[in-house]
Structure formats: structure tokens, C-alpha cells
Chains A and B, each alone.
Chain A
Amino acid sequence: MSESRATILIVDDVEINRTILAEVFKDDYNILEADNGLDAIEMINGNYGISAVLLDLIMPGINGLEVLKEMNKSGTIENIPVFLITAAESTKALMEGYQLGAVDVISKPFMPNFMKCRINNIIELYEHRNKLEHIVAEQVERLNSLNQSMVETLATVIEFRDCESGEHVKRIGRLTKILMTQVSEMYPEHHLPKKEIDKIVTSSILHDVGKISIPDRILNKPGRLTEEEFEIMKQHTVKGCEILQNIPDIIDEGVYKYSYDICRHHHERWDGRGYPDGLSGDDISIWAQVVSVADVYDALTAERVYKKAFSHEKAVQMIHDGECGTFSPKLLKAFDEVLDEIIVKK
């Protein structure tokens, strides 16, 4: 048998029917046979590279419709065309078969030549489609990773001005992922699918892009900022949003809404005394709250021009004591749950 030939699975409890079908297709395809539904399901889910299934509807035990249901469950129905082998009288079962995703019908008694043409055509079509889907998926993957690296580059470049090495944004991303995942699991009202959490993580590394607009003398001032300087420093939140608005092309649409929100609101406080909008409580989005905790924790445990690094324990203590902002009690509970993970990952 040649490796490059496509494989057809023939499922029929009557050997005569299987043999005839095998005879018709054996010159062009590798043939697999199953005389019951259970074996068929096993073969379809196995690593046989099946290109099409010819499926008898009426079989003792697991019948053809049940095989189709199983293929719907496993998703194999999307990529493998199924032809129903049937006698004309069972129209109800046929209809159900079509609804379950069968592509065509082979009526008994078989008409070999027509049958061959129809099945060949559909197999070719599916192979073409599967190939295209594969190419598209690869391209999307490449685009996404290119996009991600542009965002990371942007964040890193900006951070260099802040005398950081680029590690800060990576750590923020990690912390955000851990904490956001925990919050999503602990609180149904904040539950988010993994895909959305990934977008939030990407957004988190852009939280400080606005710092590009802050003069060096303020950004890197070793001592305490004057009130006037602090007012300018606070501007990095809204300036960041302005920057994001001007570079919509490099930020995926789904990421943009998180980036904008996180950029603007990662310095808001649970008690309403943060900036720039003075939002309080859950008026602040959960992702902005999460990035806010991640940012504070990382700032405390890292060395800065104006301070030494605090230990993990000291930083956690300070966050709980409200020395660096106020946070939602629920969020702090989630934070406590992941302390071990945070320390390992750092």
C-alpha cells in the first residue's frame, strides 16, 4: 500500500457490502473495514489518517447514527466526510444523518461508477479545504506572534528609558497571568476564557507606554517628586491612551479595549483616591485592578533609582496594610492564593 494514498473506512455489518465497496475503491485508496460501530469510532479517533467514511446506518449494536453523534462530539466530523450507506426506505434516519453532518448518501444496491465519482470529488474537496485551513491557521499564528513581539518591543523600548532592563514588563505579564487566572477561577462573576486572559496579559505589558512622554528629570529622579512633578508623572496614564489611539494597527482589536483600559486605570484605587479618573470599587475593571496589584508588587520587590528592593514577604505585607494603594478584598484573597506561584515564577 502506498503511503501517499488516501484512506477510506468502510463500516457495514454485512461482509458482502463491505467487500463490494472495497473492490470498487481498492485501486485508488487504502481501505480499512469495520463491521460494527464501536470499532469504527475507535478507528476514526485513532491515528489512521482516514479521508472518508462510508457508513452503514442500520447495524446491530452501535448504529451509524450513533457513530455520527460520536464524530460530532469529537469534532472529527469537521474534517472527515461521511457517506451514508442506505436503502431508500429509511428516509427518517437519512434526514437525521444529514443533520448530524453526513455529506452524501450511497444507496443500495450500489452504482459503482457514480459512487466513485461522487466520493472522489468530495474527498478532493475536503483535502483541499483541510490544507487551506492549515495554511490559514499557520498564517494567523505567525501574524499573532509578530504582533506580540511588536508590542513587547514597544514596551521594552519605553522601559529602557525608565532604567529598567525589559524584565519588568515580562514580570508584569507573568504576574498578571497568574493573578487573572486565579481571579477568573475563584469568582464566577469575573470568569474569563483563556483567550481573553491572554489578551489581558498582552495588554498588561503596555500599561506604562505613556511614560515615554514624561521628561527624564522626573521619570528618573532619585528623590521624592514635588507636587508639580507628580502631577506631570500622573499624566503617563492618559498619555499612554493617546499613544494607543495613534497606533491602532499594531494592536489587535480584541486587545485594544483591554490595553486602553489598563493604561488609563492601573493607578486607580479601590477607595476612589487614585488617578486619573478617581474611579472606585468595581467601577474599575477587574483587569485594571489585577495589573495594578501586579505593578505594585513588582515595584516593591524590584530595586529603583529611589529605593532598594523589598523582600517578597515585606511586599505582601505592605500591600495588605494598604501602604501602596487600596485594593478589593476579593482580589487580595485571590492574590494570597497564588503567593507561592508568584515567588517561584519571579
Chain B
Amino acid sequence: MALLDELKALDVNVDEGLERMMGNSSLYERMLVKFVKVMNDLEVSPDFDNNDYAEIIEKTHTIKGASGNLSVTPVYEAYTEIVNLLRSDKPEEAKEILRNILPVQKEILACIEKYV
């Protein structure tokens, strides 16, 4: 359970996530590893074109859904806001949030990867 304890310290809502997995902690850990892969595949960086970001909306939407379901709360909250801002045509503000979440996200992903 060391991974889950560490994630708790990084504000991941482990209890809620476990509940969603019907209490199955090994499944939860497997899904967290999948999550790292999803994040690496999608890789959203804040240098996207302010006039053409339909693809970014799709990617951030996917991240929002996956992080929400795994209760990776800091990532979920940030991407929820990012998706909302992009949908309301506020790319600059979205980028600001993205820049702030990237280091946090990096730390969480690194923590999970340690245990793979």
C-alpha cells in the first residue's frame, strides 16, 4: 500500500478512488499505471495555437475523465477548469492553469512510475 499512501500525500483522493474500484486495490494500482501511459500518450503542452485547439479540447477532456475516475484530484480539478476555459474560448487562461498543474502532475506520475 506504499504507493497509495504516497499518493494520498500528493492529494490524490485514494479512498474515493478505491471505492470506485469496488475496493479492489490491485485493480486501482493497475489503472494508475494505465493512467501514466494515457498521460504520456496525450501530453498536452501549453504552447498550442490560440486559434486552433480542437484537438487540445479532446485530449484535455480525456484526461479530465480518466483522472476523475481515478480520483487524481489535483489533475482532475485543473483539467476540468482547462476544458471549461477552452470551451469558452479563453485559451490564454487555460494555458495559465496548465502551466501550474504540469509540475504537480509530473510529481504524481513519477511517484506511480516508481512502483511499476
Task: Please report A residues at the B interface, Cβ cutoff 8 Å.
Answer: 13-17, 19-20, 23-24, 58, 60, 87, 89, 108-112
Contacts and interface: CB of A to CB of B under 8 A. Distances in A.
B21 A20 contact: yes
Interface in B33-83: 34-35, 38, 58, 61-62, 64-66, 68-71, 76, 80, 83
Which interface class (under 10, 10 to 19, 20 to 34, 35 or more) fits B? 20 to 34
A23 B83 contact: no
Contacts of A89: 80, 83-84, 87
Interface of A is mostly: loop
B19 interface: yes
A33 B64 CA distance: 21
With a 10 A CB-CB cut-off, give which of B65, B71, B80, B84 has the most chain A CB atoms: B65
B68 A58 contact: no
Given A14-B65, A87-B83, A89-B84, 18 more contacts: A13-B62, A15-B34, A15-B38, A16-B34, A16-B38, A16-B66, A17-B65, A19-B27, A19-B31, A20-B31, A58-B61, A87-B65, A87-B68, A89-B83, A108-B65, A109-B76, A110-B69, A112-B20
B58 A60 contact: yes
Contacts of A19: 27, 31, 34
Interface of B is mostly: helix
Interface string B4-34: 0000000000000001111010010001001
Given A16-B35, A16-B38, A24-B22, A87 B61 contact: yes
